[in-house]
Amino acid sequence: MKKIVMKFGGTSVGTGENIRHVAELVTKYAKDDCRVAVVVSALAGVTNSLIEVACRAKKSDEKHIEAFVKELRQKHDDAISTAIVSKEIQKEVTQIIEKTVSELEKVLTGICYVGDLTPKSKDYVVSFGERLSAPIVWGAIRDHKFETQYFTGKEAGIVTDSNFGEANPLMNFTSHLIHERLSPLLEKGVILVVTGFIAANQDGIVTTVGRGGSDYTATILGVALKADEVWIWTDVDGIMTTDPKIVPTAQMLPQLSYQEAAEMAIFGAKAMHPRALGPVIKENIPVRIRSVFHPENQGTLITKEPIAEPKEAVKAVAMIKDVAMLNVSGAGMVGAPGSYAKVFDVLGKNNINVMMISTAVSEANISFIIKRGMLGRAISNIEIALLDRGGIVSEVTTEDDVAVIAVMGANMKGTLGVASKIFSTVANAGINIRMIAQGSSELNISFVVKEKDGAAVVKAIHQEFHLSKA
C-alpha cells in the first residue's frame, strides 16, 4: 500500500467549494488503497492579511483589529458552510474556529498595547492562517465518513531551530517524533491533516519555515513518514518550459531531476518553495507537482534521475523581474585581497541578498544583482562604509530597469555550444546583454538585459531551443 503526503496550497483551499474538492480528491486516493497525510496552507490571502494586521497592530491601530477579525471569521464560516454538509460537523468546526479567532484577537490586541512586533510574535500571528484552515479540511474529510485527525506542525512533531520567520527543521528529532506520533495512525488508515508552514522550536514556541513553506512541511513529513511520494497539488499543471503568459505554447515538463527543479524553484517557477527539496533529496523520495483542476494529469515528476529523460540541453527559460544591478568599481580593488569580501560583508550585514555576481579578471569592477526594493539600502550602505574611505571603491553605479534571464537544464553540463547559441539568439534579436554569469555546475546560464526586452529574449530562446514541441 502506497504512502502519499499531499500538500494543498492556498488557492486549492481558497473557498469552501475548493475545500470540498480537496476532500473528494483525498478520500478518492484513500479509497484506492493509499495511506494519505494531507498538508494544508492557509486560505488564499490569509497569511498576507495576518502580516498586514500585525504590522498595523504594532502601530497601535486597534480599530482595524476588530474589523479584521470579523472579516476573517466570516471568511472561514463561509468556507465551513460550503465545504461541510453535516450540521453536526459544521458546528464542531465552527466552535474550533471561533476559539482560535478569539485567541488571535487577544494576541493582536496585546501587540497593539505593547507596540512591539518581534519575529517571534509575528510567527505566532501568521500561524493562525494554517490553524484556521486545517480544521475545515479535517471536517470536510470527516463529512465523507473517513477516519481523520488534524495536527498543528507542533503537535505533529516538527521541531525547528529558533530562526523565526525562516526556521530550519531539526530533521533527526522531527523524524523521531513524527514517526512516534503519526506513523501508527497512518498505518491504521487514518487520514492525517497537518498544518503547513508552522512548527515549533525545542521550547515549544511557534516558528514558521518561510513564506510558501507548506511545501517544505510536506517534504519534511514525507521523509519522516517514509512516504512513497510527496504530491504538491497546485493550480498549475506542473513545472513549465517558461511562463505561459510570455509564451502561450509553453509546455509542461513531465520529468525533472531534483537539481533542475531546485534551480527552477530559485528562479521563480512559483511551483515550489526553494528549500523544500532538501529533505527528500537525501532520502530519494519522488515529488510530483500536479493540478487540482486536472487531477487526471500526472504533472511534473521530480526524481534523482529522470527515467525517460529527453537529452535536450536546455529545458526551461525564466525571467526574473523586479531586480536591480549594481556596479562597484575602484582601482583600489585590483589585487587587493579581501576587497570583494568587504563589499559583500556590507551587504550581508544589512540583510541584502545577492542573487547573481559577475566580475572580470581585471578586478577593477564587480557587478551584482539584488532585489529592486533593496537598491536604496544597498547604495547608501556601500556609500557609508566603503566609498572613498580606505580607497577600495571609487564609484557605484546602478540600473533599476533590468531583468535576469535564466536558461536551465542539467544536460547543459558538458554540451558544447549552448552558450554561443543563447548569446547569438539574443544578438540576433538586437538586444544588448548587460551582465553574464554561469556557475561551474553548468545547470544554468544567467544574464541580464533591460526589463523591457525580457519577454522578447524569453520568446527567442524558447523558440531557438524548440521548447514548444511536446
Binding site for Mg ion (CB under 5 A): 10, 41
Q: Which does 196 bind (CB under 5 to 8 A by kind): Mg ion, ligand ASP, none?
A: ligand ASP
64 binds ligand ASP (CB under 6 A): no
Of 232 and 404, the one with the shorter C-beta distance to Mg ion is: 232
Going by the DSSP 8-state scheme, the letter that residue 281 receives in this structure is: H
Q: Which of these ranges, 181-189, 209-217, 305-313, 361-369, lies near ligand ASP under the rule CB under 6 A?
A: 209-217
Nearest-5° Cα angle at 120, 117 to 126 = 80
> Do 290 and 232 meet the contact criterion of CB atoms below 8 Å apart?
yes
409 binds ligand ASP (CB under 6 A): no
CA atoms of 208 and 334, how far apart (whole Å): 43
Edge to edge, the sheet with strand 354-359 lists: 354-359, 365-371, 316-329, 395-408, 444-450, 435-438
Of 264, 261, 388, nearest in space to 320 by CA: 264
Least Å distance between CB 99 and ligand ASP?
A: 20
Q: Find which of ligand ASP, Mg ion, none residue 129 binds, CB within 5 to 8 Å per kind.
A: ligand ASP
**Which one, 10 or 153, has the nearer CB to Mg ion?**
10
Which one of 40-48, 79-87, 241-249, 402-410 is the stretch in contact with ligand ASP (CB under 6 A)?
Answer: 40-48
**Pick 213 or 454: Cβ nearer ligand ASP:** 213
Coil/strand/helix, residue 95: helix
Say how far apart CA 6 and CA 12 lie, in whole Å.
Answer: 12
303 in contact with ligand ASP (CB under 6 A) = no
By the rule CB under 6 A, 213 interacts with ligand ASP: yes
Tell me: does residue 42 bind ligand ASP (CB under 6 A): yes
Pairing of strands 435-438, 444-450: antiparallel
Handedness of CA 205, 140, 238, 283 (dihedral sign): positive
Is residue 274 within the footprint of ligand ASP (CB under 6 A)? no
| Burial bucket for residue 139 (CB in 10 Å: 0-12, 13-18, 19+) | buried
Please identify which residue in the block is written with the cell numbers 535576469: 404
Please state the closest distance from residue 306 (CB atom) to ligand ASP, in A.
26
Which partner from the list Mg ion, ligand ASP, none does 211 bind, CB cut-off 5 to 8 Å by kind?
Answer: ligand ASP
Q: Which is nearer to ligand ASP, 47 or 94 (CB)?
A: 47
**Number of neighbours of residue 274 by Cβ within 10 angstroms:** 19
Asked if 212 touches ligand ASP (CB under 6 A), the answer is yes
**196 near ligand ASP, rule: CB under 6 A:** yes
Q: Of 12, 18, 41, 242, which lies in the binding site for ligand ASP, with binding defined by CB under 6 A?
A: 41
Nearest-CB residue for Mg ion: 10
Q: Considering only residues 8, 9, 107, 261, which one is a binding residue for ligand ASP as defined by CB under 6 A?
A: 9
Judged by CB under 6 A, the stretch of 205-213, 431-439, 445-453, 461-469 that binds ligand ASP is 205-213
Rounded to the nearest whole angstrom, what is the least distance from the CB of residue 134 to Mg ion in the complex? 14
Look up residue 221 and give its amino acid: L
Is the CB of 42 or the CB of 461 nearer to Mg ion?
A: 42
Segment contacting ligand ASP by CB under 6 A, of 208-216, 246-254, 255-263, 306-314: 208-216
C-beta of 289: minimal distance to ligand ASP in Å?
14
Give me the numbers of helices (H) and strands (E) for the chain, helices first please: 15, 17
CB 218 to ligand ASP: min, Å = 9
**Strand, coil or helix: what is 440?**
coil
Compute the C-alpha angle 113/116/120, nearest 5°. 120
Of 55-63, 210-218, 220-228, 429-437, the window that binds ligand ASP (rule: CB under 6 A) is: 210-218
The burial of 414, by beta-carbon neighbours within 10 Å (0-12 exposed, 13-18 middle, 19 or more buried), is given as exposed
- Nearer Cβ to ligand ASP, position 9 or 16? 9
* 153 is an interface residue for ligand ASP by CB under 6 A: no
Q: Which is nearer to ligand ASP, 215 or 260 (CB)?
A: 215
Closest by CA position to 92, among listed 26, 142, 18: 142
CB of 213 to ligand ASP, least distance (A): 5
How far apart are CB 146 and ligand ASP at their closest, in Å? 24
Cα-based distances in Å from 262 to 105, 177, 275, 408, 444: 38, 27, 8, 11, 11
Contact flag: residue 197 with ligand ASP (CB under 6 A): yes
User: Whose CA is closest to 445, among 456, 430, 457?
Assistant: 457
Contact status: 10 vs ligand ASP (CB under 6 A): yes
Question: DSSP per residue over 297-321, as a string?
Answer: S--EEEESS-TT----S--EEEEEE
Which amino acid is it at 13?
A: V
Question: Site for ligand ASP (CB under 6 A): which residue of 14, 16, 129, 222?
Answer: 129
Phi, psi (degrees; rounded to nearest 5) at 126: -70, -20
Q: Which stretch binds ligand ASP (CB under 6 A): 212-220, 237-245, 359-367, 437-445?
A: 212-220
Rule CB under 6 A: which residues touch ligand ASP? 9-10, 41-42, 47, 129, 196-197, 211-214
